[in-house]
Amino acid sequence: MQNREKTKIIILAAGRGIRMGGDLPKVLAQVNGKSMIKHLLESVHESGIDDKPVIVVGYKKEVVMDELSKNNRQYHYINEDLLLGTGYAVNLTKDYLKDKAENIIVLYGDHPFVSAETIKKLRDKHIKSRKKITMATVKLKDFKDWRINFVNFSRIIRDGNGKIIKDIQFKDASDEEIKITEVNPCYFCFNAIWLWSNLEMLRDNNVQKEYYLTDLIKIATDNGIETESIEIEAREALGANTKAELGVLERFAV
């Protein structure tokens, strides 16, 4: 079996995007004349990893599905009625994907600039390392100028040996943790069996009362499992939740 057949891609695209203004689903906000999710799907298609990715939809799902039907490509949609966090959203795909792949990549419909090369690099590093989790990280010099878009990203916590031990969401971080300039765009590749068996370990004991997919890093650490990582360029990690952040993306659109 080739690598291409071993890996399935999940794209989370259920959010409303209230802070964007208007009533369109967030992933349909446009950057350089094209919706954010279409930018992402072009990279997914170019990567050649998964010719029918799973898209988790929610708010105005019919609008998203109708827009993507114009791509003349196949997608499998799963509905998320309750927005209870990224871990909850991924868990909704379990019944469909459980026996369909050895590895699962998770991406986000409001992060338009991740490249096909990075998606392949994430997959390849994961398969080569044979780790349970491989993730992308971004190292910034500060949160000034356009990098202010990253200030609300979760921070990567490493031990004294440089190994990733956990992720801290911005709203749960201490004053010292907020100063950390290595951030998490939440691009993951998981061993599928490990992922499906550990999603049920997630808890919503945090400020937002959500099930964070990123908590799997600490769960792995607590069980003696090391998280592998790749470092990517900051542009590829840019996402948007507000009109101001969308304006930053326009600056970097090509």
What are the structural domain ranges in the chain? 3-252
Q: Which residues pair with 158 in a beta bridge?
A: 164
Give the model's confidence band at 5: pLDDT under 50 very low, under 70 low, under 90 confident, else very high.
low
Residues 240, 15: contact at Cβ < 8 Å? no
Q: How far apart are CA 175 and CA 168, in angstroms?
A: 12
Q: What is the pLDDT of residues 84-97, one digit of tens each?
A: 999 999 999 999 99
> Angle 36-47/116-129 helices, nearest 10 degrees?
50
Q: Which residues pair with 195 in a beta bridge?
A: none
Given the residues 4, 16, 19, 73, select the one marked as catalytic.
19
pLDDT at 108 over 60: yes
Q: How many other β-carbons are positioned within 10 Å of the β-carbon of residue 77?
A: 13
Active site residue 19: yes
Residue type, 173: A
SS3 168: strand
Q: How far apart are CA 90 and CA 97, in angstroms?
A: 10
Q: What is the pLDDT of residues 180-210, one digit of tens each?
A: 999 999 999 999 999 999 999 999 998 889 9
Tokens 């868990």 belong to residue: 91
CATH number for 3-252: choose from 3.90.550.10, 3.20.20.80, 2.40.40.20, 3.40.50.1360: 3.90.550.10
Q: What is the pLDDT of residues 51-61, one digit of tens each?
A: 999 999 999 99
Q: What is the pLDDT of residues 118-152, one digit of tens each?
A: 999 999 999 999 999 999 999 999 999 999 999 99
Q: What is the pLDDT of residues 153-167, one digit of tens each?
A: 999 999 999 999 999
Q: What is the pLDDT of residues 12-60, one digit of tens each?
A: 999 887 777 678 899 999 999 999 999 999 999 999 999 999 999 999 9
pLDDT at 1: 43
What does pLDDT average to over the chain?
A: 93
Sequence-separated (6 or more) residues with CB below 8 Å from residue 204: 84, 85, 210, 211
Say what percent of the chain tops pLDDT 90. Answer: 87
pLDDT at 4: 40
SS3 41: helix
Residues 201, 172: contact at Cβ < 8 Å? no
SS3 213: helix
Q: Which residues pair with 76 in a beta bridge?
A: 54
Tokens 């749960």 belong to residue: 172
Q: Which residues pair with 155 in a beta bridge?
A: 168, 183
pLDDT at 217 over 50: yes
pLDDT at 16: 86
